[in-house]
Amino acid sequence: MKQSLRLGAAASALLLTLATGAHAQPALSSLTVLSAGLMQSQSNPLLADWTTPYGAPPLDQIEEAHFRPAFDEAFMRHAAEIEAIANNPEAPTFENTMLAMEMSGQQLSRIASVFFNLTSSASNDEIRAIQREMSPRLAAHSASITLNPALFARIDALYQNRDSLDLTAQQARLLETTHEDFIRAGAQLDEAQRARFAELRSELAGLYTQFSQNEQGDREAWTLALSEDDLEGLPAYVVSAAAGAAADRDMDGHVITLARSSVEPFLQTSPNRDQRETAWRAWTQRGDNDNANDNKDTIRQILAARLELANLLGFETFAHYRTAGTMAGTPDAALALMDQVWWPARERALEEAADIEARIAAAGLDHELEPWDWRYYTQQVRAERFDIDETEVKSYLQLDNMIDAMFYVAGELFDVSFRERTDIPTYHEDVRVWEMLDADGEVAGLFYGDFFARPGKRGGAWMSSFRAQNGQTGQIPLILNNCNYNKPAEGEPALLSFTDAVTLFHEFGHGLHGLLSNTEYASLAGTSVDRDFVEFPAQLYEHWLSEPEVLQRFALHYETGEPMPSALLDRLLAAGTFNQGFATVEFLNSGFVDLAYHLNTEPEAIEIDAFENEVLGERQSPEDIPMRHRSTHFLHTFAGEGYSSGYYSYLWAGVLDNDGFAAFEEAGNIFDPELAQKLLDSVYSAGDSQPAMDAYIGFRGREPEVTPLLRNRGFIQAEG
């Protein structure tokens, strides 16, 4: 992401994502650092040379006790490297300043990448304790770099004289983005302001960790035990998942958890309305239970610190600060796009609500439509209108086949192939690893897939990396995708819903953005792009799953191997716009609240529930459609800065992906070679080597239009 400052090939990937800073660390001499490192590396795999294939992290050797001493040494080493660059007596050049920064911090980056992947995918009490300790330290270390006057003076001197430096296009881009990022991180503040800015960064780092750990605490503490009577009426895949969830927790019987892969299918299929309400309330109240995990005050503290930080930099609000570094440019531009979609989406949602209310009345029931009813009755309306049985659909969407499908699409578009390896160390037995081979059969990247939910793993789905592509060192990218599907019983296949399969393709779109990266500098590689552009490659990739050419080849029945019948395929694709009103309103509710929080100038006075209701009330949002992510568990916004004031980015990218895929439709070939090459050159391999709009135009030949998004969501009629 572009908010990731260019602190070095290594440090940029994680330090600045965590972003945050306090007082500068004292620099140590290189001799001190090296002598300490020799002693530590003899017994600590994080500090030793990694002799695994492709230099992959030796995850099977790393223990919790290794992290603190490894971080200690890596902080010292990187501080010494930065000190040498900042205090170099020679005049600044690209090589002795920008390139030197790029090559610094590699040890810290690889340690931090392993650690923070574990905090998300394989956490425990000890890992969480280390995270609470290290997040502020990483913030302090980051600030010691971005607020270093001597270092910024060298960068600024190069930037001011850039036209006379004879730089390559990527060198110029690296200098431009680094200079901009340092300014956005407080480099031009006076001494007192820099000190306060650093304090705020350190404070925010701790608050982000607290918020995410509170959400996880509430989520993992709750289960709903199901009796034999409660299982009546539930489909077999929900019963099986509930049994697996109980076994994972060393419990007997069947339980529903607050993992989306558990609770959402239950809300869709359980005929027990009281239990649906219980599950829904627990799901939406995470972080809002007035217990040790309560996040309401944490939110107020985060908002107050963010506002002060933005004011220090001369911005009216944090929303203005954040959007200034994106394609949107301003909060008003983001809101304008959201408004353009909101009213037709709301109208469609009201029509969908009327269908559900009719269904409730037809069943002879007299209750009002409530949020815990929506998913249950929507499934019934969908099944009736399109003759779709979710159990039947899942029987054709086996995880292994869908993985093959996503690899197939990558091969058709980008001439790459994938080969599974079983000898690459992983952090959990569920994780699988593949080599990505280029057109010449050379290994160009490693792809790690961690697909199943389990205790200690955060909810949702995401892409991350153990290492970014690096044109200077020649290191291939090591990319990780996480999902949270229900793990099947031993010997049974993992069957996905169509939504699950879309998520698989989405995250692999992110994964390809990292795997196909081909930039000169790691700080420009892969997903280091504007926040409202980073979702474009992922959302675009979803479209290929819905193409008959892909489904007919890979949607095979898990027992018979027969392809999905054409009639079922047609009905499934016809249902593509069904319930889009609900889905879009649910999303926009969170987007409006996110921006409203960060446009507010009195955060200490905010009462969370009342604030949500006020914002949604101003939009006349249907009361039975809440936010997709309520504030107290809104990880996108409050567990870091990735999507803060930027949840709208999914919609912005939606404009891009629908308009972008229309190019393939217009060409009459979903794998059109010329378009695929432009897509590779301008987007998937280009990283942040050019501004986001230039990248899109390089692929599409023009700026994006919103019409394809409105049409594909069923909000306007297709032409013809």
The pairing of beta strand 462-467 with beta strand 478-485: antiparallel
CA terminus-to-terminus distance, the chain: 40
Cα dist from 691 to 176, 233, 512, 576, whole Å: 11, 53, 19, 33
Residue 482, beta-bridge partner list: 450, 462
183 phi/psi in degrees, rounded to 5: -65, -45
The answer to whether the beta carbons of residues 140 and 22 sit under 8 Å apart is yes
From the CB of residue 202, how many other CB atoms can be counted at a distance below 10 Å?
A: 23
183 Cβ partners below 8 Å, 6+ apart?
A: none
71 Cβ partners below 8 Å, 6+ apart?
A: 108, 111, 112, 115, 134, 137
Closest by Cα among 216, 232, 240, 369 to 293: 216
Rounded Cα distance, 454 and 639, in Å: 20
Whether 507 is a known active-site residue: answer yes
Cα dist from 148 to 3, 24, 96, 312, whole Å: 18, 8, 16, 17
Cα dist from 335 to 332, 585, 712, whole Å: 5, 14, 21
Which of these is catalytic: 199, 215, 352, 507? 507
**Which single residue is written with the structure tokens 């992401």?**
1
Rounded Cα distance, 615 and 599, in Å: 12
The token duo for 509 is 């779109």
DSSP 662-682: HHHHHHT-TT-HHHHHHHIII
Cα dihedral across residues 425, 428, 429, 434: positive or negative: negative
Phi-psi region of 555 (alpha: psi -120 to 50; beta: other; left: phi over 0): beta
Rounded Cα distance, 230 and 232, in Å: 5
Cα dist from 527 to 2, 17, 506, 652, whole Å: 8, 12, 14, 16
The token duo for 382 is 């969908």
Residue 465, beta-bridge partner list: 479
Coil/strand/helix, residue 80? helix
The answer to whether the beta carbons of residues 356 and 377 sit under 8 Å apart is yes
Rounded Cα distance, 654 and 656, in Å: 5
638 Cβ partners below 8 Å, 6+ apart?
A: 208, 211, 295, 298, 299, 302, 631, 644
**Which single residue is written with the structure tokens 């599974």?**
420
The token duo for 94 is 């690209």
In 259-416 the beta strands, taken as DSSP E runs, fall at none
The token duo for 234 is 């539930």
Coil/strand/helix, residue 530? coil
The token duo for 412 is 């058709």
Longest dimension (CA), the chain: 84
Catalytic positions, written as ranges:
507
